[in-house]
Amino acid sequence: MIAGGLLLLVVAAISILYALQPNSFRLSRSRTIPASAGAIRPCLVDLKVMERWQVHFADPHDPPTVTFSAVTSGVGAWVERKDTTSTGRTTMVEVTDSTVRMEHVNEGRLGTGKSTVEYLLRERGTSTEVEYAIFSPLSGLPRLLWPIANLEKRIGPDMVKALEQLETKCVNATP
């Protein structure tokens, strides 16, 4: 009887914790790059070019196998990364003068996760503010584990580094 009561208490506590977590998350970082949006956009719309500067959230001890679609630039282009624990595919879904948006689907041990990666370009005189955002709905185990995931701390610095590399390795790179 006591075990049954404790089990109900644990289930109630987990249910309350789950209900208190957000339904989605959005992380974003921005950087002002001294270049026009037209000079920055080619670094964002071609996945092979992006591969040279983007920071990937992967285990350096388990490097992924990377496969590209036949066409690597523009809407419909995709890149797939596969390692021993997961497969992730990123597909370009929108390219405009001010927006580059990609959908990412990752299949791994904890199931399938879907997120959106977005770059927004805002010209500011001779410079362009580039906002890099990642957002996704939260449900199931990821929603329950949200309090300990601390993506701000884990992914935020990599997003800052990616924007730095966008500027130094792509926009300002010497041919």
CATH, residue 61: 3.30.530.20
Domain range holding 143? 24-171
Number of domains within the chain? 1
Question: Pairing between strand 99-108 and 111-124?
Answer: antiparallel
Q: Does residue 50 sit within a domain?
A: yes
Q: Does residue 3 sit within a domain?
A: no
Which pLDDT score is estimated for 146?
57
Note every long-range contact of 56-64, with CB atoms under 8 Å and residues 24 or more positions apart, other chains counting: 56/81, 57/155, 57/158, 58/83, 59/83, 64/88
Q: Does residue 11 sit within a domain?
A: no
List per-block mean pLDDT (blocks of 10 residues) for the chain, which spans 175 residues. 74 62 79 94 93 76 89 95 91 95 88 89 95 82 62 82 90 67
Which pLDDT score is estimated for 64?
86
Q: Does residue 74 sit within a domain?
A: yes
Q: Does residue 138 sit within a domain?
A: yes
**pTM above threshold 0.85:** no
Burial class (CB in 10 A: 0-12, 13-18, 19+), 161: middle
Q: Does residue 62 sit within a domain?
A: yes
CA distances to 50, 82, 152, 159 from 62, in Å:
20, 10, 23, 21
Q: Which of 47, 34, 168, 31 is nearest to 100 (CA)?
A: 47
Q: Does residue 13 sit within a domain?
A: no
Q: Does residue 149 sit within a domain?
A: yes
